[in-house]
Amino acid sequence: MTQRGTLEIRGVEKHYDVDGRPLKILDHIDIDVAAGEFVSIVGPSGCGKSTILRLVVGLDDDYAGSIRLDGEPIKGTSLDRGIVFQDHRLLPWLTLEQNIGLSLENSRLSAEEKRRTIAEHIALVGLRGFEKVYPYQLSGGMAQRAAIARGLVNRPEILLLDEPLGALDALTRLRLQEELLSIWRIEKTTMILVTHDVDEAIYLSDRVLVMTANPGRIVKEIVVDLPHQRDRGSPTFAAIKRDILREMGDYAVHVAAA
Amino acid sequence: MTDATNSTFAVRRPLAGARTPSPVRAARRPAGRRYIGIILPLGLLIVWSLATWLAWVPAVFLPSPLATVKAFVAMVTRQSLHQDFLRSINIVSQAFVYGSVAAVVLGVAAGLSANVERFFGPTFDSIRHIPGVAWLPLIVLWLGLGAPAQILVIGKSVFFPVFLNTLQGIRNVEKSHIELAKVLTLTRSQLIRRVVIPSAVPSIMVSLRYAAGVAWALVVTAEGLSGQEGLGYLIFRAQNLLITDQLIVCMVIIGLVGFAIDRLMLLLQRFVLRWKQGFEG
């Protein structure tokens, strides 16, 4: 069954050349994401989780294996696949509105439709009133919301989130997690979130994929079968968290000792 | 406004200040300190007055401030100083516009294409080390005394700093921004217009401000060595005829105009770069 926004990653491997010798970065990655699903990938830094997103978005096509979106092999970058980076990457010389509009530069919408959908997405991320503001005038949380709006404005089939909340303070982070959830419910976009924050992954996702490093591979898949709003303090939540941390290896000792 | 104005997401600065940057800057600089820059010129004026009044220096070498003002009035009323002044401004403006437009165009081309850079590189790097004054004799032989030769020499001195900074600015575009453009499927021309050129604008603006100063300073040399009009010519004539008061009048005018040019360029720079936080040049 192929519905819009179905991602299929099969046997993906990736190597870097280090001093002339190939270093394996990704080892046989298989991931299936259903349309409209929210999947998180967690793992220690250097495990290649962000690399997977770079491959899926099309910034790097030097890999073995296959990546298909809705059954079609991906080729280069495309407006069907949006991404939000950890640094907001808003262009400093464009206003918030123009930054979001940059996503629609090559869309087939009419000028009027562009204007409307930009306004809708600015409202969606709660930034109405800040259309003409330059990025330096935005707080970190606001800039990241703008980046999310830019990722969504073209209505991609899949939105890749590369630690989008990683650089934010704890409170802003919690609040933006709520917003991500409500945006996901409204837009029904397939989402893949890469994070090293296990709580964040459990709180947001239908499924969590756990990776380890050297070489990067997926060691465990955990289905989070909890209704939203999830209670971060509940025993089930804690049990899932313990499972994930144990899989991530390094943490196992501390978890066992605790 | 929306809930986004809540404390966690509050803008770092009041929006009113953000949209019109000047009030923010003015607030940072208390009113009293703004005039601190006038103290030194006033002090110099006093020393100058004392030096002439107490006859530390013979009047033929240093006329008094009052004599200088009188010379200024005489020059305006009897020698149509304003025509020489406008003539100099005209020469410098033309040289600045031609030199900087050519520099930005070629700088962008060389920044975008390594082949263009390789093509011009050796030639430009040699030419730019021959000072404008050294070019003047040959150019005067070709073009004769007068405006075209002067514009060419000044334009050359405007060209190189702007060219080099444009090239550097284009090369310094952030890799992450290029990546973003790729993700947004921008075409090469969209990439250049929306990403590459804007990232070069700060260094272009800095070099334009610098080049404007260079151009104005050079007008004295250019007019003094190859012409019969303009402020530069008046200075050299005044030296030959030992009319020191006129010499000083010209120097003061050149200094004040240079100051005005610099401040104008700074204002332009601040306006063009209003998106850049705390950019002061």
Residue A2 falls within a domain, yes or no? no
Q: Is the pLDDT of residue A99 over 50?
A: yes
Instruction: Give the pLDDT confidence score for residue B31 in this predicted structure.
Output: 61
B91 within 8 A of B147, measured Cβ to Cβ:
yes
Residue A95 falls within a domain, yes or no? yes
Length of chain B: 281
CA angle B221, B226, B230 (to 5 degrees): 70
What are the distances in angstroms from CA B45 to CA B31, B48, B62, B68? 24, 5, 12, 12
CA–CA distance, A148 with A140 (Å, rounded to integer):
12
CB contact under 8 Å between B198 and A91, yes or no, is: yes
Nearest-neighbour CA in chain B from A38: distance (Å): 21
CB contact under 8 Å between A136 and B184, yes or no, is: no
Would you report the helix, strand and coil content of chain B in percent, each value rounded to 5? 80, 0, 20
A175/B contact by beta carbon, under 8 A? yes
Phi, psi dihedral angles at B20 (to 5 degrees): -120, 100
A7 within 8 A of A52, measured Cβ to Cβ:
no
A171/B contact by beta carbon, under 8 A? yes
Say which residue the tokens 């021309």 belong to: B189
Residue pLDDT, tens place only, A137-158: 888 888 998 998 999 888 888 9
Q: Is the pLDDT of residue A161 over 90?
A: yes
B49/A contact by beta carbon, under 8 A? no
Instruction: Give the pLDDT confidence score for residue B259 in this predicted structure.
Output: 92
Instruction: Give the pLDDT confidence score for residue A257 in this predicted structure.
Output: 47
Contacts of B17 in chain A (CB under 8 A): none
Asked which of A41-50, A59-68, B218-227 is least confident by mean pLDDT, the reply is B218-227
Residue A132 falls within a domain, yes or no? yes
Half-sphere exposure of B193 (CA within 13 A, CB side): 7
Residue pLDDT, tens place only, A184-202: 888 888 999 999 889 999 9
Nearest-neighbour CA in chain B from A239: distance (Å): 31
Residue A193 falls within a domain, yes or no? yes
CA–CA distance, B134 with A201 (Å, rounded to integer):
69
CB contact under 8 Å between B9 and A142, yes or no, is: yes
CB contact under 8 Å between B194 and A102, yes or no, is: yes
pLDDT-based confidence at A250, cuts 50/70/90? low
Mutation pick from B185, B187, B276 vs chain A, by most beta carbons of A within 10 Å, is B185
DSSP notation for A118-165: HHHHHHHTT-TT-TT--GGGS-HHHHHHHHHHHHHTT--SEEEEESTT
Say which residue the tokens 């600065």 belong to: B13
Instruction: List all residues 6 or more positions away from B87 whose beta carbon is below 8 Å from its beta carbon.
Output: B229, B230
CB contact under 8 Å between B183 and A137, yes or no, is: no
A215 cis-preceded (ω within 30 degrees of 0)? yes
Contacts of B15 in chain A (CB under 8 A): 130, 133, 137
CB contact under 8 Å between B2 and A123, yes or no, is: yes
The boundaries of the domain holding residue A248 are 7-257
CATH code for the domain in which residue A194 is found:
3.40.50.300
The domains of chain B are located at 1-56, 63-272
Instruction: Give the pLDDT confidence score for residue B32 in this predicted structure.
Output: 67
B9/A contact by beta carbon, under 8 A? yes
pLDDT-based confidence at A16, cuts 50/70/90? confident
B193/A contact by beta carbon, under 8 A? no
B2/A contact by beta carbon, under 8 A? yes
Residue pLDDT, tens place only, A191-236: 999 998 899 999 999 999 999 888 888 888 988 888 888 888 888 8
CA–CA distance, A131 with A122 (Å, rounded to integer):
8
Residue B87 identity: R
Q: State whether ipTM is beyond 0.95.
A: no
Architecture label for domain B63-272 = Orthogonal Bundle (1.10)
Give chain A's domain count: 1
Instruction: Give the pLDDT confidence score for residue B93 in this predicted structure.
Output: 93
Nearest-neighbour CA in chain A from B209: distance (Å): 20
Instruction: Give the pLDDT confidence score for residue B22 in this predicted structure.
Output: 42
Of B20 and A124, the structure prediction assigns the larger pLDDT to: A124
Question: Cα(first)–Cα(last) distance of chain B, in Å?
Answer: 34
- Write out chain B's pLDDT in tens, 281 residues: 333 334 333 444 444 334 444 444 444 555 667 788 888 989 998 998 888 888 887 877 888 888 888 888 888 888 888 888 898 899 999 999 999 999 999 999 998 888 888 898 888 888 888 887 888 888 888 888 888 888 888 999 999 999 999 999 999 899 999 999 999 999 999 999 999 999 999 999 999 999 999 999 888 888 887 778 888 888 888 888 888 888 888 888 889 999 999 999 999 988 888 888 765 54
Say which residue the tokens 């437009």 belong to: B101
Q: Where are the alpha helices (DSSP H) in chain A?
A: 49-57, 96-101, 111-124, 140-152, 170-187, 198-204, 235-247, 252-257
pLDDT-based confidence at A3, cuts 50/70/90? low
Residue A228 identity: H
CA–CA distance, B113 with A206 (Å, rounded to integer):
48
CB contact under 8 Å between A141 and B8, yes or no, is: yes
CA–CA distance, A52 with A217 (Å, rounded to integer):
10
Instruction: List all residues 6 or more positions away from A200 whose beta carbon is below 8 Å from its beta carbon.
Output: A40, A165, A173, A177, A193
Residue pLDDT, tens place only, B197-244: 999 999 999 999 999 999 998 888 888 877 788 888 888 888 888 888
